[in-house]
Structures are given as C-alpha cells and as structure tokens.
Amino acid sequence: MDKVVPSAVEAVADVGSGATLAVGGFGLCGIPAVLIDAVLRSGADRLQIVSNNAGVDDWGLGLLLGAGRIRRIVASYVGENKEFARQYLAGELEVELAPQGTLAERLRAGGSGIPAFFTATGVGTQVAEGGLPWKYDSAGGVEIASPAKQTQEFDGRAYVLEHAIVADVALVRAARGDRHGNLVFDKAARNFNPLAAMAGRICVAEVEELVEPGELDPDHVHLPGVYVHRVVALTPGQAADKRIEKRTVR
C-alpha cells in the first residue's frame, strides 16, 4: 500500500480542534517541524499535546504554543520555553509533568494495547500522592491539581499505577522511509519518535529521504509500516532545516 501523501498540509487536514497529538522528538532533535507547521497553518486549536518537551519559543511546538493553539501538554521537560512558563503560570495552559521514562512507557503501552502498568518511579512523591499543580487560575491559585494514583506492593516494594496514552494523531520525523511506511531514524533522533508513532490511532511521518519498498534492509527498520498511516517526503531544504537548541562556541 502506497502511504505517501503529496503534502504536509494534506497529511494533517483532518486534525481537528481539540485533538490529542503525540509528537516525537527530544529538544529540537528529531522533531516533525514540517508537520507541526502544517498543523499551525490548519488553524486547529485547543490541542492536547503529548511530547517530551514543548520546543523553544520560535521553533517546533513553541510555534503552536505561541499562537495559543495548545490547551494542555503532557511532557517531561519544558525549561527552554519562556512562553510556556508564562502561559502556565498565568493559568492559560494545563500542564501534566511526567517522569521521562514513565512518559516513554505510557506511549509504548498505548501502542501495544496495554491499558496501564505499575512502576516504582514516582513512589513517595507527588507523582503518586497527587497535588502537583496542573493548572493555575488567573490569581495564581491552583485550579486543577494532579490526583492521587493507585499504589500496590510487589515483593515488598511499592509501585504506582500509570495509565497508557493513546493519541488521536501521532506526528514523527524519520531519516528514511519507504512508501509502505517502514521508518529508519538517525542516531539520537530515534528518541521518542517510535513511541509516539505507536501511540497514535493515525500516524503521520515526515521523512528526509523517501525510498522504494525493498530498499530498506528489514533488519535496519526501527519502526514497521504497520504503525504508520501517512508518509510525507520532505524537500532537500526542509530536510536540512534543523535548528540547534543551544549553541556553545569558544
């Protein structure tokens, strides 16, 4: 089945307001920047985003955030985005922070048909006990706090129950992909991309290099095409446009 879609705009045309999006990437590494821009241009708002982080102020998910399109974010790290902090503290944005490994496993579980799992991460903290401020009101008070989670002992050790994440749409970026949706990621850009892809009911992948079926060594495929529904081939310019989150010079 040829899953290639002519443009990023067409690939995300059915992403409606209020949709939940699982977005791959770590910092600015491996983010589906072209698809994010297409969602921005689509006008969809009140989005719920599940991603390791929220980009920076002028790139990646930071563009959707700056345009006021995001209602809620489930993430692990958000320290590089000043607008994120402003919206959160002003009561404009709901934020659920999750331990990074837990977030990864929640996405993987969602894509594997596992509704929930127990983990030791977070036991004895507000992650398990509740009370983390998810949303502030305009006066600075806590409007929504995280609920307490179920805990249980196994072999004398306490664990907390975490629920899987299933998104309406997943947006990911791969170095290479074929027309059947088989994807290969480049080094650290692999990060959250396969997990986000698995968690989406529909997965849209932008690929830097599109190849024909059979050209990818099956042993080198990181994500099989069964998880991918649409493929967008990037132009050379789009593929080369990769921002640096922090530049250190002598």
Task: Say what the pLDDT of residue 247 is.
Answer: 81
The total of other beta-carbon atoms located within 10 Å of residue 177's CB is 30
Q: Collapse the DSSP code of 161 into the 3-class scheme (helix H, G, I; strand E, B; otherwise coil) and give the result.
A: strand
Give the pTM: 0.95
pLDDT for residue 204: 98
What is residue 81's predicted lDDT score, i.e. its pLDDT? 87
DSSP state string for 67-119 = TT-EEEEEES--TT-HHHHHHHHTTS-EEEE--HHHHHHHHHHHHHT--EEEE
* Token duo for residue 130: 């509740």
Q: 107-131 b/e with 16+ CB inside 10 Å = b?
A: bbbbbeeeeebebebbbeeebbbee
Per-residue confidence in pLDDT tens, the chain, 250 aa: 899 999 999 999 999 999 999 999 998 999 999 999 999 999 999 999 999 999 888 899 999 999 999 999 999 988 888 999 999 999 999 999 999 999 999 999 999 999 999 999 999 999 999 999 999 998 999 999 999 999 999 999 999 999 999 999 999 999 999 999 999 999 999 999 999 999 999 999 999 999 999 999 999 999 999 999 999 999 999 999 988 877 888 8
135-163 burial by CB neighbour count: b if 16+ within 10 A, else e? bbeeeeeeebebeebeeeeeeeeebbebe
Q: Is 240 helix (H, G, I), strand (E, B) or coil?
A: helix
User: What pLDDT sits at residue 80?
Assistant: 80
Query: What three-state secondary structure class fits 220?
Result: helix
Domains, the chain, with CATH or none: 8-115+164-240 (3.40.1080.10)
Cα–Cα–Cα angle for 16, 61, 211, rounded to 5 degrees: 80
The pLDDT assigned to 79 comes to: 80
Q: Give the whole-angstrom CA distance, residue 244 versus residue 38.
A: 21
The pLDDT of residue 78: 84
Cβ atoms within 10 Å of 92's Cβ, excluding its own: 16
